[in-house]
Amino acid sequence: MMDKAYLDFARLYLLHRAGAYFVIRPRTDLRFVRYRSQKIDRSSGLRSDQIGRLHGFYSRKAFPDKLRAVHFHDCELQRRFCFLTNHLLLPASTICRLYKMRWRVELFFKWIKQHLRIKRFYGTSINAVKTQIWIALCVYLLVAIRKQQFGLPQSLHSILQILSVNVLEKVLSINYLQLA
């Protein structure tokens, strides 16, 4: 699952040739020639499900095989989306749900950036990064549990700021929370 910023048909063709599937949002200026349309359930938000090829000279040279374009209208957001994929057999609704799951992952990482305040990673291996994220999540959850138990009126953000300032002091941070 990739955003339209990563639209590179030569790279996508390498993924396709390696046997991998992708779902990506194309740019609005994509030139796509439809060979056939597949049946859809319009009540589910689907607007079209088409199989075809890229039309632009360089695009088609970079990705010469068939692609699938699925158009979907999101009633909640009142927006129309187009998804491009090389998986020709999955139901169109599944392709839309897959991309929606990708968006949830992005929102999760946005939340991590905003709330966990990881300034820098002390290790750069995959294991070190995962461990530091898990530690930050555990600290966040422990503080949230304590906030609930003590009935503290401060926001979690305020509490975490107070704790981060006073971590190395010998005075208990909870006293500061009651004074604030």
Residue 168: its pLDDT value, please? 46
- Looking at residues 121-144, what average pLDDT do you find? 86
Let me know whether 31 and 120 are in one domain. no
Let me know whether 123 and 144 are in one domain. yes
Find the angle CA(153)-CA(156)-CA(158) to the nearest 5 degrees.
Answer: 80
Q: How many domains does the chain have?
A: 2
Mean pLDDT score across all residues of the chain: 84
- Looking at residues 141-153, what average pLDDT do you find? 90
CA distance 72 to 83: 8
Please state the φ and ψ torsions of residue 49, each to the nearest 5 degrees: -140, 105
Residue 158: its pLDDT value, please? 84
Please give the residue range of the domain that contains residue 146: 116-179
Query: How does pLDDT run across 50-75, given as a tens digit for each residue?
Result: 999 999 899 999 999 999 999 999 88
Residue 62: its pLDDT value, please? 94
Query: Which residues have a Cβ under 8 Å from the Cβ of 134 and sit 6 or more positions away?
Result: none
Let me know whether 84 and 120 are in one domain. no
pLDDT at 48 exceeding the cut of 80: yes
Query: How does pLDDT run across 75-118, given as a tens digit for each residue?
Result: 888 889 999 999 999 999 999 888 888 888 788 778 777 777 67
Let me know whether 121 and 170 are in one domain. yes
Residue 87: its pLDDT value, please? 93
CA distance 114 to 116: 6
Find the angle CA(22)-CA(26)-CA(28) to the nearest 5 degrees.
Answer: 170
Let me know whether 8 and 77 are in one domain. yes
- Looking at residues 148-172, what average pLDDT do you find? 74
Let me know whether 71 and 24 are in one domain. yes
Q: Are 65 and 13 in contact (CB under 8 A)?
A: yes
Residue 160: its pLDDT value, please? 79
Instruction: Please say which residue of 82, 113, 144 terminates a domain.
Output: 113
Let me know whether 77 and 18 are in one domain. yes
